[in-house]
Structure 1
Amino acid sequence: MRRFVRDNSLTLFFLGILLLALVGQALSGWHEYNNQALVQSGAEISLLRYLSSSQFGVDVAENWQSEYLQFFLYIFMTVWLLQRGSPESKSPGRAGEESDQDQHVGRHATGGSPRWAAIGGLRGAVFARSLGLAMGLIFLASWLAQSIAGRVAYNAEQLADYQDPVSWTGYVTSADFWNRTLQNWQSEFLAVASMAAFSIYLRQRGSPESKPVGTSHEATGIEG
């Protein structure tokens, strides 16, 4: 068990703080929801009911979809786009999917290569892009979940104000939906751009996300 924790500590750490953040969000959101209900002379609800509500669902989904969009775009864009001096970028001249020899696929696969890397064909092509595809599919699923939960929450407010509810199509083309969505997207895009640029000139000793402390600012694609 100790070895498992050590070998997977990075993933376990972030899953742990994810759980803590979700618990904190659930409790704070529940209290805020009930506070608003009291102000509006409504009835308080239980924590379990809040967790199954569209309000909680849309708040979680809209954050998840923006995060996975960030990774989806980052994974695919770093294939073709470069940032000189950043460890987050490939070196100038290496833009593109690279050769089979560089990627150890097909006849260039090694003994330790995954089986689908050596197979080639459709399975090999899918496996060669499976990380980006997985991020893209999770983004689409969470975006869909956000749109469905958001519509339910939006229509609840519409009915409370004696206004007509909207269809799913009407909601995903509404200002409310895109206001929620773009608020999250812009922060993710800023974070990625900042990381790519700051890592040119700043260092974090021992981190693979940073160049070694003494490496030139011009060095590209070198990690600590």
Structure 2
Amino acid sequence: MRSFLRDNGLTIALAIFFGISILGMAAAGFASYNEELAKHGEAPLPPLLQYLISGQFLSALFENWESEFLQMGVVCCADSMALSARFGGIA
């Protein structure tokens, strides 16, 4: 068990942070969505699970992921171009 934690500690930590961020996003989005429904005089969603499978949450989640993957793609391309320019290509 000790070697498993040592070998996979970073992955475990990042998975925990990922889960916490998704839960935080779900809680904040649920509260915001219920406020928006209350403004328009509609009944709030009863369970959090119903919000999690709604288009509102999934749309926000995938928009966030899309922007992050785009950002990381640009950084990786810029880094590889800079390395190619500096070192004359990667052998």
Q: Name the SS of the counterpart of 2:49 in structure 1.
A: helix
Unmatched 5+ residue regions in structure 2? none
| Change in CA separation of 1:10 and 1:40 when aligned onto 2, cut-off 3 Å | same
User: Partner of 2:55 in structure 1?
Assistant: 54
- Structure of greater relative contact order (alpha carbons < 8 Å, 6+ residues apart): 1
- Contiguous gaps of at least 5 residues in structure 1: 82-89, 100-224
Q: 1:93 aligns with which of 66, 86, 89?
A: 86
Provide the residue aligned with 1:66 in structure 2: 67
Structure 2 residue aligned with 1:75: 76
- C-alpha deviations, 1:37-96, integer Å up to 9, x for none? 122110111211110111111111111111111222222322222xxxxxxxx4973142
Deviations 1:8-56 (A, max 9, x none): 2122211101101111111121122112212211011121111011111
Identity of aligned residues (%): 33
Partner SS for 2:42: coil
- Given that 1:80 and 1:95 are in contact with CA atoms closer than 8 Å, whether structure 2 keeps it comes out as no
Asked if the contact 1:26/1:56 (under 8 Å) is kept, the reply is yes
Paired letter, 1:58: S
In structure 1, distance between residues paired with 2:48 and 2:66: 24
Report the 3-state secondary structure (helix = DSSP H, G, I; strand = E; otherwise coil) of the residue aligned with 2:86.
Answer: coil
Query: Aligned partners of 2:88, 2:18: CA distance in 1, in Å?
Result: 34
2:53 maps to amino acid = S
Larger-Rg structure? 1
| Matched residue, 1:8 | 8
Residue 20 of structure 2 aligns to which amino acid in structure 1? L
Correspondence for 2:24: 24
TM-score, normalised to structure 2, is: 0.82
Give the RMSD, CA atoms, in angstroms.
1.9
Residue 79 of structure 2 aligns to which amino acid in structure 1?
T
Please identify runs of 4+ aligned residues in structure 1 that moved more than 4 A: none
* Residues matched between the structures, number: 90
More helix by share: 2
